[in-house]
Chain A
Amino acid sequence: MARFLHTADLHLGSAGDALPEEIARQREREITSSLPKIVDLALERDVDLLLVAGDLFTDKFTTPALLRYVNYQFGRLGNKHVLVCAGNHDPLLQDAPAAAFPWQKNVHFFLPHSWQQLAFHKLGIAVAGISWGELPPQPELLTQIPASIPGFVNIALLHGSAGKAAQLAAEYFPLPEESLIASGYQYFALGHYHNPSSWEAEGTLFAYPGSPEPLSFGEEGRHGVWLGETSAGQVSISFIPLGKREYVTLRRDVTGMKSEAELVEELKKDLKARREDLVGLTLTGSLPRGFKLDLDFLKENLEELVFYLRLQDATWEEVDLTDFPQGSLRQLFSQRLAEELANTQDPYRRKTLELALRYGLEALARGTVDLGGEA
């Protein structure tokens, strides 16, 4: 029996998407710390292989110091093998830092353009892999995948778009399931998508570990790595959560809300267990005409409850066209925008129209426009 850890999309050096500087700085440290956590786990579980399925780095943020740090961490694994394929964010270009770097002896980077297959006889595992280079690996390469070695558990280490996405993401190394299954491999250690997933098809196991630390809103839920075990020529995997924080998106319908204070009290309950998380709170629903959410108040009261709060106001003003005198400007204005809204699908345009409706009615009713906190 052999054990391995399967990770991908660490994006070391990155700080996550669109965050204030201080938060980004801390996230950068946390994202970088995901590697020592993985190494600790590998040592603790005494795995034989560490598989990294691409995007170990974000190349534009990679510094020499980071490479040294990563090399040091890999070095801690001693004689445990680290097999890495490069992804679209850290392709092995000719002058890529990782290409010329003097890696520890236990670290192996798969080459771009052609397959390599490493057979670990003691473990009974053979790992084939290919890296991203100047160009993404071409789909026809899948036909050249090394033949599975009989008596070994055959694993492929790839960075690309498998599953349903294979047809949608042609530029990101599409990996049609039927081609992969036909190769006779037991486990496809994949990377590219930042949320973990795994599925089995015709006796072949596919798995994306996702990023061990989430990188942006939309990468919700637990993040970690797959711990794999081989036994009797089969692979079984279990998910080990490692993420320091989670991104959480909450949508809260404020229709019928009496006051911001009431809303704060309700949201406090929702955010109670999210102290360490990055929360994207979107307020939706309609507000009585002329009523405006005090976002500053909400932010002041909620911000301290979580690690980072991104508050978005997606509410709209409750407009009943019958509220306005027939034929009045307000009625005409509201009706015109309501009609446009009804015919618009684009979220950005919809939001713009909602704001235009709100601002126009506010200007007509009060002679002022409140642009909200930031403005």
Chain B
Amino acid sequence: MLIKKVHVQGFGALENASFSFGPGVNLIYGPNEAGKSTLQYFIYGLLYGLRKKTSSTLTDEAKLYQPWRGTQFGGSMEFSVAGEEYLLLRDFASGGAAQLFCGRTGEDLTRNFPVDPKNGELLFASELLGLSELAFRNITYIGQLASRCQRELAGELAGKLANLSTAGEEDVSLRRAQEALTRALDQLGTMRPSNKPLGKLVRRARELEKRERELAANLKGLWQEQRKAAALADKLVQLNQEYEKALARQRQIEASLLAQRLERIRHLERELKTIREELAQKAGADFPPKLIGRGRALEERAGLYGAEEEKLAEEQRRLEEELALVAAEAETIEEKREKVCAVLTMPPDLFASSLEQDEKILSERKAQLKQEETEVPKGGSSSFAAVLAAAAASLVLSLFQPLFLLPLGILGYFAFLLYRRRRRIAERRIQLAQKARELEEEEKRLQEEFARLDNLLDLPGKAGLAAWQREGERLSGLRSRQTFLEERLADLRRRLAENRELIAQTASQIQALFGELGVESWAEFWQQADLSEERQKLKAEEGRLAGELKLALAGEELESLEARFAELEKAGLEEAASQADWEEVSRHLRQLELARQEKKNELSRLEGLLAGAEGNSLAVISASRAQLEERIHSLAQRREALEYAKEVLSECAKQLHRQFAPQLAGEVSRNFAKLTAGRYRQVLVSENLQLRVEDSAANLFTADSLSGGSLDQLYFALRVALSRLVCKEGVYPPFLLDDSFVQYDEARAKEGWQLLRELAAENQIIYFTCHRQQLSLAGDNVNLIDLSAERKEAVCS
């Protein structure tokens, strides 16, 4: 690529300034603040735009470059790539839209290049150079103090180198691609049922397959049912024939039975006629059966009451006779006893009791007397004689001795006392003798009284009293019987009166009944009643016959029966058919009908089943599953493609890695040896693409152990190598260096410029510097652009 001319409309401090570049080395010199970095950034912006990666708005860095004086924010560039001329216009203000024209024809080529869908940036530079924006910035766009940046970027670059080794492009990552393919495979799922797209389809297909199998089995079952239905239909035809046959026989039997029935109807009609004639002959008033019953009851009742009357009257007579006998006996006994009592002034038992009481008292008095007699002393005469003898002795002695006068006195006193006692005992004995005479008299009286009682009672002693007692009891019994008989008689009389009342009432009712029926006697009554009953019987017979006739007609007219018979008769009559035959054939018909109905129902069920089996069509499920299988097939093919892409990528990456590492190492070694004037002779690229350097003494150093200047040179060497390896074949991108050698010592700076000059044979070099010494180092064949002068010129113009 060759940048020929850049025109800045307005960009930071630069405005309306044009810069022409040539092939080879272009040295842009200017003091600080002259706009070198601005110009470098402007060129980058023209090529790759200044938009954010994810939107069309400007980056924050780009906003710093808005024109100071309000001129248009943008510019143009004329350049050539692989012999084609281009004109690029860019207006950063309006989102940085780029327009690309053919430098020769003026044709708008903008639509020939893709647009980044994320920020709308026209990707012409990436397409033309084969360098992405990132690659451009890391390889050919080299800012000030690059080594410091590079040190920080070392890690990132190592990653990019890995990409370069496996993908051949620093921003194309094999690992990322493999991961993306693995993710896609995982996202797709496998042929095992799951919730992933392929698994889902497989699961659904299996469900449908299962459903299909079920439906096929169901269909098989349906065909079995269909065969059953066909067999049933045959059976039904057979049953129908049998039924028709039985029906014909039933009609013949029916005709025969109808003939019999018609005969019976006619017979009944004849009998009915006879009965009605008899009834007409026996015309008369009808005794209502109720009145006949009533008459019968009254007659019976009158008989009953009459019999009762007789029975009661007989009983009355018998009772009255007994009562008369009982009363007469009682009267006799009572008179006799009253006489005894009148004699004794009291009942004999009381009298006897009184006598016994007196006798007892007498006995007691006699015992007492005897006691009293035993208690009376015998007389005391010996004591008195002794006392008198003593007194006489005392007196005699007193007479000899006066002192015996005192015992004579005492004996005298005793003699006195004894005397008085003897007199009282005498008196007592007299009293007792008197009492004993009184008791003898009493005893005599008592004996007389007992004798009188025995005389009255005609029996002696206790026997008389017992007879008296028995007679009293007999009397009492007679009196009780008399009372009972009297009560019975009174009751009997009441019942007789009541029965007579009933007889009278019944007679009255009979009279009323007779009056009602116009008869005068029971004989007449019963004669009329019998006649009436005979008529009733005839009427009942008439009713029965009429009922039978009605039954025989069964609600039909004789004419219609005769018409029906005439119809049935045509199909013939079964000889000697009976109701049993009819019932038998009817039962057979019912059985056939039942069997027919059963078969019909079963057939109907099967027909329904067969007709309703059209839903859930097997064909629909089959078509649906086939469509699903197509989709599964499509996804499975995608899976296969993903796996194959992964496999091929892996194989290609291995091949690339085998080629890239030695190639890169050789290229970088060559450049780095030049830059370091042979101090370092080789750069080694490890398996994991880490850079190491080997000095002339064969010492190995890791890249990050180098000084800032050496590291800067190493990365410069790497950039140059990468530009060779990475860029589109035949396309050499320009190198934009912002005082990149400023940290180099003079010798290395010379080597650096030497390397740049070599590079400039194919790549355009645009070197920005504020150091005049770089002008001499750059050599002679250099397109110098003095920015301070340019600016002045620009400002003047």
Contact = CB atoms under 8 A, between A and B. Distances in A.
A331 B660 CA distance: 14
Given A65-B610, A329-B166, A369-B180, A18 B630 contact: yes
B620 A63 contact: no
A363 B181 contact: yes
Interface in B604-659: 610-614, 617-624, 626-627, 629-631, 634-635, 637-638, 640-642, 644-646, 648-649, 651-653, 655-656, 659
Interface string A63-77: 111111000000000
Most central of A288, A326, A364 by chain B CB within 10 Å:
A364
Nearest to A20: B627
B671 interface: no
Interface in B96-146: 114, 130
Contact of B177 (A27, A324, A363): A363
B169 A329 contact: yes
A11 to B, nearest CB: 9
Task: Label chain B's interface by main secondary structure.
Answer: helix
Interface stretch (B322-330, B724-732, B740-748): B724-732
B150 interface: no
Contacts of B365: none
B176 interface: yes
A162 to B, nearest CB: 28
Contact of A325 (B226, B233, B727): B727
Range of interface residues on A (Cβ < 8 Å)? 35 or more
Contacts of B222: 63-64
B225 A326 contact: no
A78 interface: no
Contacts of B656: 327-329, 332
A348 B638 contact: no
A366 B624 contact: no
A64 B229 CA distance: 10
B620 A359 contact: no
B173 A367 contact: yes
Given A24-B619, A359-B184, A369-B180, A63 B644 contact: no
Nearest to B212: A60
Task: Label chain A's interface by main secondary structure.
Answer: helix
B455 interface: no
A333 interface: yes
A348 B188 CA distance: 19
B120 to A, nearest CB: 15
A108 interface: no
A69 to B, nearest CB: 9
A329 B180 contact: no
B172 A359 contact: no
Given A28-B620, A352-B641, A102 B230 contact: yes
Given A64-B225, A332-B168, A375-B197, A17 B652 contact: no
Contacts of B229: 64
B623 A360 contact: no
A305 interface: no
A371 to B, nearest CB: 6
B223 interface: yes
B618 A352 contact: no
A357 B645 contact: yes
Contacts of A366: 180
B560 to A, nearest CB: 43
A337 interface: yes
Contacts of B225: 64
A176 B416 CA distance: 212
B545 interface: no
Contacts of B653: 329
A190 B738 CA distance: 87
B749 to A, nearest CB: 31
Contacts of A369: 180-181, 183-184, 642
A6 B621 CA distance: 30
B176 A16 contact: no
Contact of A332 (B180, B622, B655, B725): B655
Nearest to A26: B620
A322 B230 CA distance: 76
A18 B627 contact: yes
Contacts of A290: 114
A14 interface: yes
A367 B648 contact: no
B641 A355 contact: yes
B421 interface: no
A327 B172 contact: no
Given A328-B168, A330-B168, A97 B181 contact: no
A61 B618 contact: yes
Contacts of A359: 181, 184, 638, 641-642, 645
Contact of B620 (A25, A288, A330, A364): A25
B648 A363 contact: no
B623 A63 contact: no
A217 B171 CA distance: 46
A333 B647 CA distance: 10
A18 B626 contact: yes
B505 interface: no
A368 B222 CA distance: 53
Interface in A323-366: 324-333, 336-337, 348, 351-360, 362-366
A315 to B, nearest CB: 14
A359 B182 CA distance: 11
B599 to A, nearest CB: 17
A15 interface: yes
A270 interface: no
B247 interface: no
A374 interface: yes
B418 to A, nearest CB: 174
A85 to B, nearest CB: 22
A273 interface: no
A327 B168 contact: yes
Contacts of A353: 641, 644
A94 B646 CA distance: 55
B167 interface: yes
Nearest to B655: A332
A21 B628 CA distance: 10
A210 interface: no
B304 interface: no
A271 B133 CA distance: 44
B174 interface: yes
B624 A19 contact: yes
A100 interface: yes
B357 interface: no
B175 to A, nearest CB: 10
A10 to B, nearest CB: 13
Given A25-B617, A327-B660, A369-B184, A356 B644 contact: yes
Nearest to A66: B614
Contacts of A14: 619, 623
A17 B166 contact: no
A100 B225 CA distance: 13
Most central of A17, A358, A374, A375 by chain B CB within 10 Å:
A375
Interface of B: 114, 130, 166-169, 172-174, 176-181, 183-184, 187-188, 197-198, 216, 219, 222-223, 225-227, 229-230, 233, 610-614, 617-624, 626-627, 629-631, 634-635, 637-638, 640-642, 644-646, 648-649, 651-653, 655-656, 659-660, 725-729
26 contacts: A15-B619, A15-B623, A17-B623, A24-B627, A28-B619, A28-B623, A61-B618, A63-B222, A64-B222, A64-B229, A288-B114, A324-B168, A325-B727, A327-B168, A328-B656, A330-B172, A336-B651, A351-B637, A355-B638, A356-B641, A359-B641, A360-B181, A364-B167, A369-B642, A371-B197, A371-B638
Given A64-B226, A322-B729, A374-B197, 4 more contacts: A19-B627, A354-B641, A360-B649, A371-B197
Interface of A: 13-21, 24-25, 27-28, 58, 60-61, 63-68, 97, 100, 102, 288-290, 322, 324-333, 336-337, 348, 351-360, 362-369, 371-372, 374-375
In the complex, the 4 A-B pairs of residues with the closest C-beta atoms, listed nearest first: A328-B168, A355-B641, A360-B645, A24-B623
